[in-house]
Amino acid sequence: MAQAPAAAAPPRPIAVALLASVFVIAACGLLYELAAGALASYLLGDSVLQFSTIIGTYLFAMGVGSWLSRYLERQLPAHFLRIELLVALIGGMLPGVLFVANAWLPEAFRLLLYGIVFVVGALVGLEIPLVIRILQRDVALKTLVSQVLTFDYLGALAVSLAFPLLLVPYLGLIRSGLLFGLMNAAVAVWALWLFRHELPRFAEHVAACAMVVVLLAAGMWGAGAVTTLAEDHFYQSPIAFAATSPYQRIVVTHGRRGHRLYLNGNLQFAESDEYRYHEALVHPAMAAHGAPRRVAVLGGGDGMAVREVLKYPSVQSVTLVELDPAMTQLFRDTPQLARLNQHSLSDPRVQVVNEDAFQWLQQGAPGVAGPSRDAEDSFDVIVVDFPDPTNFAIGKLYTNSFYALLAERLAASGYAVIQTTSPLIARRSFWTVVQTVEAAGLATTPYHVHVPSFGEWGFVIASRRPWRMPLALPAGLRFLDLGALPAMLEFPLDMARTPAEVNRLSNQVLVHTYEQEWGRVAH
């Protein structure tokens, strides 16, 4: 009678420990990749491009590391320990080093970014082949490959969920990198113990592990100071408030000329002249309507546009749709900032909706199904105050698809107004937005004003009926009066209309055009 095959021996404790290490290694490697991509999108814009090139560089480097692993033939545990320590130190320090480089060496930032990503990727690429070769001593190859890949993918899944939901909101990028560096260092310490009988010069390995752990722990302790120091240097003013949300880096500075708000390093308003921008944004549309009752503000989580809207006694409700709850919370609950918007976000007429504006327009009002809109689902005035289209995530809010949804929510006699970048610096971008609004079936009235912090800045009113010059404006405005309005409608030759494409979801030409035009100014 045939003899039954012998059951496979269970893996030794060393094998179990190394498989657990694979989970940590995968999580740490992906964390460094995500942190680099997030920092690049924060600081360089165009998140799709940055994440694509970071991921591509990282994966290529992992391939290089895997190929190089063939040349490590002896003392595999010692090589594994050294590589873990290098990944821990370089990967853990990656966000902090890049943050500081952006402040002091901006011209070298891209080179440093891709250089560090390549080095970390190559080291991570070395790790897994070494683990597999070490485990081959105790686990059959067929079982080994499936187990290693399973733990690798599970580690990647865990950190991909934790990164946006827990790590960035609660720790920030710098501390997240350092924490995972410490986790890599813990794997090295674990390996030090597991292979203590195989390691030559054991005391030197102990000293190296201790040094890396101390450096990373010191980085964790001083991460806040490093961030503040780098941002103070970058923004040239003391940081009053700062927060990192899943969506953006929010920084408010306070200098001699008051507060300034930056999102991902881009100026959004300066206290000294924001009234020019917000009065020009809101009042030409609001005053022309006559007696707006229901108003929506899309973007504008700082509450400044809402402040201007509430100057009309006819307003009964304002719906503020802002993606990032960190923004609305900061400008509602911080006394110094709430003073700037005159506590508009605490007004009982204001409803704050923290949701993507595109999805909010698609969904309609609660209880309203399908494309039909009734009086309770439309608005007399819609103020669109999004950041400039620096990436595809924002660029979708400047497409004909978005403006078609906007038209559905606009009352028959209503007006929408859209902030539309600089018609002087980004002339083609400005007229691309105008062309796109018209492609959605709305009439347009472009205009511009001078805001010292930004230069010449543009807006466009969109409506089904022609815009008419208002007969009166609210009392107490600091900049806008009826006499200034006609000049705002005139475009000199260097800002005059130029041929432009329609910005569609399928092409996002505006993002590319914007990057080209503003890139010329930056360089």
Active site (catalytic) residues:
385
Separation of alpha carbons 450 and 286, rounded Å: 20
Phi and psi at residue 250, to the nearest 5° = -105, 125
Separation of alpha carbons 136 and 143, rounded Å: 10
Separation of alpha carbons 139 and 133, rounded Å: 10
Buried b (16+ CB within 10 A) or exposed e, 127-161: bbbbbbbbbeebbeeeebeebbeebbeebbebbee
Separation of alpha carbons 252 and 302, rounded Å: 11
Please list, in sequence order, all residues whose beta carbon lies within 8 angstroms of the beta carbon of residue 208, skipping any fewer than 6 positions away: 82, 85
Q: Answer whether 372's CB lies under 8 Å from 340's CB.
A: no
Separation of alpha carbons 274 and 466, rounded Å: 28
Judged on CB neighbours under 10 Å (0-12, 13-18, 19+), 64 is: middle
Residue 482 three-state SS: coil
Separation of alpha carbons 20 and 41, rounded Å: 32
Structure tokens at 390: 């620096």
Separation of alpha carbons 442 and 407, rounded Å: 7
Q: What is the layout of strands, in order, in the sheet containing 443-451?
A: 350-353, 317-321, 294-299, 379-385, 410-419, 455-463, 443-451
Residue 258 three-state SS: strand
Q: Answer whether 461's CB lies under 8 Å from 422's CB.
A: no
Q: Terminus-to-terminus CA distance in the chain, angstroms?
A: 82
Q: What is the DSSP letter of 269?
A: E
Question: Which parts of 105-254 fold into alpha helices (H)?
Answer: 109-135, 141-162, 168-170, 172-194, 202-235
Phi and psi at residue 480, to the nearest 5° = -85, 135
Judged on CB neighbours under 10 Å (0-12, 13-18, 19+), 348 is: exposed
415 strand-pairing partners: 381, 463
Separation of alpha carbons 100 and 121, rounded Å: 21
